Structure 1
Amino acid sequence: MRQMMMASALAFATVATTAPIAAAQAQTMMPVQTINGTRLDVVATGEVTRVPDIARISTGVITTATTASAALEQNAVQMRKVRDALRRAGIADNDIQTSSINLYPDYRQDERGGGNPQLIGYRAQNEVTVKFRDIANTGKILDALVAQGANQINGPMLSIDKPEAALDEARTRALANARSRAELYARATGKKVGRIVAISESGGGMPGPVYGRAAMMAESSKIDPGEQSLGVTLNVTFELE
């Protein structure tokens, strides 16, 4: 009798321990999606255009002096004027970022030749990257920088600050283009477009930055933003019935 009770308890324990495992396995098993009709893979792109609303430039000061400390000190004075000019123009502190500070020795080659280069002083360079949120005033700000001693200006680099809404529109267009192409194939083969089996996004996205150049700006310099294209490419799998 005791042996029968022990056997029953063991059998119950075995069922109790295996049941959760079987349930867990059932939960992790995913149904395999099958295509009953004809599979059609389409690659389609959607594009939209937007006017850039952000301009970035690199600007700074190069100073030279007979000693390293003097070159750095003069540079700091000039850069302070440049930063003050940016703040007066309404540029926020978080839109001004130091990009590089460099100090180089200056040498002069012996004119008679054959001799070693002579150290004649030092060159200090300080550059900041500036983000302009009002492109229409970029030219005036660049002119002000030059007036305050900025002798290095590179850019502008034009871009779109918040592109997600535009990219979503491009995605919608890409999907519409994919379905239109699927309809064309369906008509050509005497079928009709059924369900979408899979969608994946590849390529496209943000456009590359557009560069201009503003060396020594003339008075009332003007920046033309133009337009930029944003595109999204979709790989869409349809079932043709």
Structure 2
Amino acid sequence: MRPNILPLTLALALAIPTVASAADQPPPRIIVVGEGQSTLAPDMALLSLSVMREAATAREALTANNDAMAAVISAMKSAGIEERDLQTAGVQIAPRYDYTPKQDGTQEAKLVAYQVTNTLSVRVRDIAKTGEILDKAVGLGVNQGGGISFTNDDPSKVMTEARKKAVADAVAKAKTLTEAAGVKLGRILEISEMPNFQQPRPMMQEYAAKAGADAVPIQAGENAYSVQVNVTFELN
């Protein structure tokens, strides 16, 4: 029986490595980062209000704290804050000790009281009432916290503007770079938005929340929403 013999042309084709043609090579490209920013006056205030009560026992401290926080929540609702905008952020019960130095250099711990802290998160949709609400809360027993920030309920439109500016910024940078390098800028191959870069940042502007003469003065300013994009261009 004759052995199987590959045709000469096929054997040579298998023996010679394939050389990639120029058409198989990826086109030269440039990647540019563009940034866009748009500002918007806030329409919502976020408050963090804490009530701390102290007593000889944890039960007594919790009862006193419950009464004080119930009064604060009732006042928030009377001021027009809806149920959906009130949320308990945490309840903490902790002992408090006094430490007395001893002759041997150590300290003796003595239980003095128990502290109970209840924190309430409040969304104020009428910014003009923010100072009034803070003042009322303190009068009803809020003695810790006081954290405040300003945000927007729906920043989608201003985010769209920021995205457009970011892409335009990338295009402008790419044109500058390619002109300086003496090459021609081609079509866009890919666009991607960088995550975790969209949080609003406060901008100092003249925007005051008008309230009563005795209310806490509040400056809401403006929020700046920023977007970064990576844009890949083909080079011709």
Q: TM-score range by the shorter chain?
A: 0.7 to 0.9
**1:100 equivalent in structure 2:** 90
* C-alpha spacing 1:53/1:189, structure 2 compared with 1 (3 Å): same
One of 25, 41, 48 as aligned partner of 2:38: 48
**1:77 equivalent in structure 2:** 67
- The structure carrying a bigger helix percent of its residues is 1
Q: Which amino acid aligns with 1:50?
A: L
Query: Which structure 2 residue ranges, 5 or more long, are not aligned?
Result: 1-23, 203-212
Q: CA deviation at 1:187?
A: 4.3
Q: CA deviation at 1:183?
A: 3.2
**1:233 equivalent in structure 2:** 228
Q: Is residue 133 from structure 1 mapped to residue 125 from structure 2 by the alignment? A: yes
Please give the TM-score of this superposition, normalised by the length of structure 2. Answer: 0.73
Q: Which amino acid aligns with 1:55?
A: A
Query: Which structure 1 residue ranges, 5 or more long, are not aligned?
Result: 1-31, 211-217
Please give the TM-score of this superposition, normalised by the length of structure 1. Answer: 0.72
Q: CA deviation at 1:163?
A: 2.5
Q: CA deviation at 1:59?
A: 0.9
Correspondence 1:1-241 to 2 at 5 A: 35=27, 38-110=28-100, 116-188=108-180, 192-203=184-195, 205-207=197-199, 219-241=214-236
Aligned residues: 201
Q: CA deviation at 1:118?
A: 3.0
Q: CA deviation at 1:203?
A: 5.0
Is the contact between residue 101 and residue 108 of structure 2 (CA under 8 Å) also seen in structure 1? Answer: no
Cα root mean square deviation, aligned: 2.8
**1:18 equivalent in structure 2:** none
Identity of aligned residues (%): 37
Q: Which amino acid aligns with 1:131?
A: R
Q: Which amino acid aligns with 1:221?
A: V
Is the contact between residue 42 and residue 150 of structure 2 (CA under 8 Å) also seen in structure 1? Answer: yes
CA distance in 2: counterparts of 1:178 and 1:108, whole angstroms:
61
